[in-house]
Every structure is written in C-alpha cells, then in structure tokens.
A and B are shown apart, each in its own frame.
Chain A
Amino acid sequence: EVQLVESGGGLVQPGGSLKLSCVASGFTFNSYSLNWVRQAPGKGLEWVSYISSGSSSIFYADSVKGRFTISRDNAKNSLYLQMDSLRDDDTALYYCATVRSGAFTGWGQGTLVTVSS
C-alpha cells in the first residue's frame, strides 16, 4: 500500500524559510515521479512542483518559481520542498503526490504551513 507522510510544516514569519519532507513507503520510490500540491484554507488545489524519478526533470508553478526548490533522496525514500522568501499567500496545506500515467495516484495527508507575523 502506498503511504506518504509529510512533515516540516509550521508557523513562519513572512520572508522566512521552511523545508518540508515527505517519506514514502509501500512502493518502489525511485521509479515514480512526484509532485507537491497545496491547498489554501477553504480553497481549491494548486499544483506547486514536479520532480521526475531520477531528478532530471524539475518544474515549478509560476507562483513559487525562484523561491521554492524541490528535491528527492531515493536512498531515503524521501521528497523535499525547500521554501524560501515565504509570503502570506503561501499559507496552505501541502501535499506530496505520486504520479502514474500522468495522474496523481497517491497522496499524503498533508502538512500545514502558516505564514504570518
């Protein structure tokens, strides 16, 4: 069974940084592309970033480009999101999600990031 567990969220001031982690189990981690998706309180889903299985392809939404960095460690079955220069509108629940046939087949339960002074 696919299991994804996010961590690292919390309260941070505007302009600050956080690093999110997602630890995976139940599947061959190094064979799957992964994404970060976020959801602001009471709002819809917003794709944030994508990384291919071997980290050769990386993409970001325009809203986070230049501020967020996605990475993975296949030896540790882990996905990361380094978030710098955080803004109020980055406040959201951040999910990691696996990709299969393009669609997002597995999701974690999310970690909450709150940007506020």
Chain B
Amino acid sequence: EIVLTQSPGTLSLSPGERATLSCRASENISNNYLAWYQQKPGQAPRLLIYGASSRATGIPDRFSGSGSGTDFTLTISRLEPEDFAVYYCQRYGTSPLITFGQGTRLEIK
C-alpha cells in the first residue's frame, strides 16, 4: 500500500501570500494518479487537481499542482480568505488501494 505523507501539518500564512503544500509517496505513483482536495469546516471535500497538475472544473488558476514519481506539490499563488482550509492529497488509479494523505491545515496567520 502506498503511504502519502503531507507536509507541513499546519501552515500559517496571510492573505496574499503564496502557499506551498507537499505530498510525498512511499512508492512511485504511476501515471501521475495524484489528486488534491480542499475541505472547509462542515463541508464535503472538493476536487482541486487531478493527474497531478490538471485543474478540476471551476477551480481558479491560482491553484496549481506539480510533481511526479514520489514528490508532488500544491501551490496557491496568492491566498484569498476563502482558501484557508484543510488540503488532502490522494493516490488513485486502477488499483483498489486508494489512499489519502493525512492533510495539511492552512490557517490564517
């Protein structure tokens, strides 16, 4: 089973700043089957990025994903107040062993 480790656990930044969130896999993720989700309190998760770097429908272009193999990054270029939330990475694919990272909490500094 592939284990995803997200860092940092908590990130404290101010609106307007750039956020960089990391997701490291214990094994190579083939085909870049890596997604990122945003979850706000009391809400269901929302897909942001799939295929490591493709934005989902309706996601602002300040969100971008990059990486391959075992190291992936979610970047929010300029934080808006509504971006403060918990972010999860996910490995998906044809295997049934879908896994999520433990999450990064992005909080207002």
Residues on A close to B: CB < 8 A? 35, 44-47, 50, 59-60, 95, 99, 101-105, 107-110
| Cross-chain contact B33 with A107 (CB below 8 angstroms) | no
- Determine whether the beta carbon of A102 is less than 8 Å from that of B100: no
The minimal Cβ–Cβ distance linking A40 to chain B, given in whole angstroms, is: 12
- Residues of chain A with a CB closer than 8 A to B33's CB: 102
A105 x B96 contact (CB < 8 A): no
Closest beta carbon of chain B to A8's beta carbon, Å = 17
Partner of A101, one of B45, B50, B98: B50
The residues of A that contact B43 with a CB separation of less than 8 Å are 109
Which residue on A lies nearest to B39, using beta carbons?
A: A45
Question: What is the CA–CA distance of A104 and B47 in the complex, to the nearest angstrom?
Answer: 7
Q: Is B73 part of the contact surface with A, judged by Cβ < 8 Å?
A: no
Residue among B88, B92, B93 having the largest count of chain A Cβ atoms under 10 Å: B92
Interface residues of B, Cβ cutoff 8 Å to A = 33, 35, 37, 39, 43-47, 50-51, 56, 88, 90, 92-93, 96, 98-103
Given contacts A44-B102, A47-B98, contact A103 B90 (CB under 8 A): yes
B44 CB contact (under 8 Å) in A60, A99, A109: A109
For A102, what are the chain B residues with a Cβ–Cβ distance below 8 Å? 33, 35, 50, 92-93
Nearest Cβ in chain B — how far from A43, in angstroms? 9
Whether the Cβ atoms of A50 and B98 lie closer than 8 Å is: yes
Contact in complex: B45, A107 (CB < 8 Å): yes
Contacts of A108 in B (CB 8 A): 44
Measured between beta carbons, the chain A residues less than 8 angstroms from B39 are: 45
Alpha-carbon gap, A35 to B46, bound state (A): 15
